[in-house]
């Protein structure tokens, strides 16, 4: 059966993810993670994609990407191919590193876009990290000002969609079962300066 065609168009947003073949680690240490981010930087420069959120876990990664040109496939082939080649050379191994083709979900709703970035930034919490800001290998520390922004990472668009950096932080830090729109609606409401809820 032929593979289904990728959906690519100008200005598309994609949630891109993949994990190691047989669930093996694709990042063994910090040098691997730094190498992957270096290859992301090179891919952005070469193919013009925009990276808005990311997280690198032990055996998988997530990227939130916007493509000004319909070239996600080319960009990901370049990124994954170069990283795999360098990973294999460094660890003296060969063969496929990732489990087949990457998965890419097209995102068309602004609320889902924010929810996707929230999911990416909260991903380390599924593996025992107490707070998203405690995890170094994620774009979230950049969003909350704990780390300098690399030139290739975009964050202004998602912060603008949320309403402010504080609202974006509230979104990520809120319990995962709270709907995105409820958090933003609640936190955008003007706060009373004093008096009871029944005060005129």
Please check the confidence at residue 174 and state whether its pLDDT lies above 60: yes
Please check the confidence at residue 196 and state whether its pLDDT lies above 80: no
Question: In terms of Cα–Cα distance, which of 102, 108, 117, 106 is closest to 52?
Answer: 117
Phi, psi of 107 (to 5 degrees): -115, 125
The pLDDT value recorded for residue 7 is 85
Domain boundaries, the chain: 12-188
Greatest C-alpha distance within the chain: 73
Note the pLDDT tens digit of each residue in 15-34: 999 999 998 999 999 999 99
The pLDDT value recorded for residue 27 is 98
Domain 12-188 has CATH 3.30.70.1290: yes
Asked if 189 contacts 181 with a C-beta cutoff of 8 angstroms, the reply is: no
Note the pLDDT tens digit of each residue in 111-165: 889 999 999 999 999 888 999 999 999 999 999 988 899 999 999 999 999 999 9
Asked if 97 contacts 13 with a C-beta cutoff of 8 angstroms, the reply is: no
- Rounded to the nearest integer, the mean pLDDT of the chain is 87
- Compute the distance between CA of residue 195 and CA of residue 193 in angstroms, rounded to an integer: 7
Please check the confidence at residue 3 and state whether its pLDDT lies above 90: no
């Amino acid at each position: 059966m032929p593979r289904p065609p990728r959906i690519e168009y100008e200005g598309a947003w994609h949630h891109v993810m993949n994990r190691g073949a047989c669930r093996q680690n694709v990042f063994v240490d910090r040098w691997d993670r730094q190498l992957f981010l270096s290859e992301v930087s090179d891919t952005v420069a070469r193919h013009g994609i925009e990276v808005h959120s990311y997280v690198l876990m032990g055996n998988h990664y997530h990227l939130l990407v916007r493509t000004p040109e319909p070239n996600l496939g080319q960009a990901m082939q370049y990124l994954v191919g170069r990283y795999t080649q360098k990973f294999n050379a460094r660890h003296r191994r060969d063969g496929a590193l990732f489990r087949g083709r990457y998965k890419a979900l097209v995102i068309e709703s602004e609320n889902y876009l924010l929810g996707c970035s929230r999911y990416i930034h909260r991903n380390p919490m599924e593996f025992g990290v107490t707070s998203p800001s405690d995890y170094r290998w994620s774009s979230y520390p950049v969003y909350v000002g704990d780390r300098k922004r690399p030139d290739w990472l975009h964050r202004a668009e998602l912060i603008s969609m949320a309403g402010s950096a504080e609202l974006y932080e509230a979104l990520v830090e809120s319990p995962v079962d709270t709907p995105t729109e409820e958090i933003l609606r609640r936190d955008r409401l003007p706060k009373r300066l004093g008096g009871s809820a029944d005060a005129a």
